[in-house]
Structure 1
């Protein structure tokens, strides 16, 4: 995964890429939510515990149909390229919080190749990614109390989205309220503009998830 320089602007909610939309398989979303919930349960003030998946699917009539979520290993600390990127660019630009080796995700290149071959076997394309934003302002250290996350991309996310160039980047916000987990999701294109996102429902007799 390579990353390029990023403009210091946020996606404007008033500017939505209406000519494109993300149609998400309910089954694929459930797979990611289950994995994200497992990581969420292990979060401590010292370990944000990221969760990251690659979206597989197809494009049709101006829409992206997400059919599967595939997972890979985090090479954040094992890849020389990742270590250099964090040391020379990410930490200086986005703050010392990213010195934490558990924070942020760098997909292992070998796993990206495996996922790409899997997509080919299934007749799918790699459409983009989905990752977890927990309610870190509640779970994290005191220094994070004033910086709540949401299903909007962080400044670091925008840098990654623009650098990767994938057409879809989904952020899943997960929080615990009154003893239960709740989530919201939002999709963003490679320029950090919001994309309309719909989740396909499973109906009796349907053969698609």
Structure 2
């Protein structure tokens, strides 16, 4: 992953993080644009889009009929979960095509919700590892690369950890949310070192 693509995501994620309240676990989500080579995915850019979770009828139905029953009433909260506006996905796909890039997958933030959220959720620690819902969504999209950025604030400083994941293997007898996602090696290309 190019360091500038990561910096672009972290800038927006830190801004969203600062708006989180115990009732609003604001998400931060973007698409990964880059190239697929023999054994490597190279993320060169990211593309943000709008969350259509509360405006898209398909998203509303998916959360009502699938997400809430599978993952619990916490997902009734309209700030929890992400459904990228289909127009923004199409725009990102066109942008990738124009640049000779591919749409590789997604990146999203996990905040330290166990510190920021309501008391009832303080025991559920998030990290850069996929949750059951992440595994479900990674399996549904089938994108080969999914990055989770765990972001926390300690005092006035932000810290982050990254994990990269392939979609879980599909088993006909079980849901993808119960299958583990294979971890993908993640390296950040540091362009500032190349200028030395």
TM above 0.5, one fold? yes
State the shift of 1:108 in Å.
0.5
Alignment partner, residue 136 of structure 1: 113
Q: Does 1:126 align with 2:126?
A: no
| Cα distance, 1:204 vs structure 2 | 5.4
Give a deviation string over 1:144-200, Cα, whole Å, max 9, x none: 110010000110000000000000000000001132110000100012210000001
Q: Secondary structure at the match of 1:37?
A: helix
SS of 1:54's partner is strand
State the partner residue of 1:40.
17
Name the SS for the 1:197 alignment partner: coil
Structure 2, unmatched stretches of 5+, are 169-180
Is it true that 1:75 corresponds to 2:64 in the alignment?
no
Matching residue of 1:193: 182
Q: What is the distance in 2 between the residues matched to 1:165 and 1:204?
A: 34
Structure 2 match to 1:148:
125
Cα RMSD after superposing both structures:
0.9
Tell me: CA distance 1:205–1:199, structure 2 relative to 1, closer, same or farther (3 Å).
closer
Q: Partners of 2:142 and 2:164 in 1: how far apart?
A: 14
Residue 15 of structure 2 aligns to a residue whose secondary structure is helix
Residue in 1 that maps onto 2:161: 184
Residue number in structure 1 paired with 2:176: none
- TM-score computed with the length of structure 2 as normaliser: 0.91
Using CA pairs below 8 Å that are at least 6 residues apart, which structure has the higher relative contact order? 1
